[in-house]
Structure formats: structure tokens, C-alpha cells
Amino acid sequence: MIVRAVSTGSVGYIGVLATIVCTVIDLRVRPHLQWVIQPIGRALAAVGVTPQLLTFIGLLVTVGGGVMIGFGMLAAGAAVALVGSVLDGLDGSVARAAGTDSPRGALLDAVSDRVGEVACFAGLAVAMAGSWRVLLLIVLSLGGSMLVPYLRAKAEAAGLDGRGGLMGRAERVILFTFGLMIAQVEPMLWVMVVATWSTVGWRFFETYRQLTP
């Protein structure tokens, strides 16, 4: 098992690419993506597919990808996990199309997302068990990835906008899977740590600033 060493060039390349991807998702893709997702959601709802079924299938596929990663099939496992994340991302559009979106569905989706992320990072930790540095980066990446949606949930519970920062779930999925597919695990993790914890800091201070003393 080979753990690739960090090089300034690799980290810089992935860092620039991650920044571009996040910027494109935030400013260009998200406002227009509904034109693609909504018709798919309506079509799936029309044939009787439920959002809960999509969430469950997406989670199973994502966990399967995490298991493959744990067995050392990094690129293939990342591709499978990406497919699972895409399937899971369609549940909201199906729920809206069917008129069945609910707080229970939102809770199920949020928990499924977190379990999928834990499965993928756990698989990577098993695959990279020979390097303490990579394991530390995995722990820090996973911790940041859990805090980002937690802070959004706390902000929204207080009636505030909890979004912001570079690393939402879509960005984390893209960065994680891309890093594994091109065999740049450690550089990807360095970028993940910096970007996720920057997002944690951003969301914390923005929420704290808006809260009533």
C-alpha cells in the first residue's frame, strides 16, 4: 500500500481546482441545476419512487463505496460513493414533486448524509492505516465535515441563514472523490482540512455575530 507524499505542487494544484469548483458550484451551477434536477424528480415521483427509497439506496451505495475504499480500491470506491451521493441528492426533488417533503424526511436525509461521509472516511482510514499523518488528516477532515452542517442547523434553528464558506456537502463530495480518483489522497486531505475548518470558522462567527447578546 503506497501513501503518496505531500508535494507543494500537488497541494497547490488540488487547492486551486477545489477553489474553482466551489466557486462554480456556488455562483454558477446551483442556480441552474434545478432545471435538471426538478424534471428528474418529477419523473421518479411519477413512477412511484419515494424519497425515502432514494435516500436508503443512496446510503447503501455510498456505504458500499466506503467499503471498497477500505479494501484499497480507492478510485472505484470513490466513483461508487459519488453515484450514491448523487442518488441521495435527488430525494429532495422527488419529495417536492410528490408533495411529501416533511421535517421527518429532512432529518432522515441529514442523518443519511452524515453516515455516508463517516463510511467513506472510515474506509479511507482503513486503507491508509500505515500512515499516522494521513490518519490525523482524516480525523480532522471528518471532524470539520461534521461541524459544518451542525453549525448550519444551529443557525437555522435560531432563524438565521447558516450557509456560507467553501465546503458544503457537494463540495466535500467532489473534492473527496476527485482526490481518490487521481490518487492524490494526502494532498486532497490537506485541502479538505483547511477548507472545512475555514468554513467552520466562517459559519461560527457569522452565526455568533447575528445572535442576540
CA of residue 70 relative to chain centroid, distance: 18
pLDDT, position 10: 52
Supply the pTM of this predicted model: 0.84
Radius of gyration of the chain (CA): 17
Residue 129's CB: how many other CB atoms inside 10 A? Answer: 13
The region that residue 7 occupies, defined by phi over 0 for left and psi between -120 and 50 for alpha, beta otherwise, is: beta
Structural domains of the chain sorted by starting position, each given as residue range(s) with its CATH number in brackets: 8-207 (1.20.120.1760)
pLDDT at 184: 94
**Which residues are marked as active site?**
113
Instruction: Give the mean pLDDT per block of 10 residues along the chain (213 residues).
Output: 44 51 51 72 87 94 98 97 92 86 89 96 96 96 96 92 84 94 95 94 92 82
Provide the grid cell at 70: 477500505
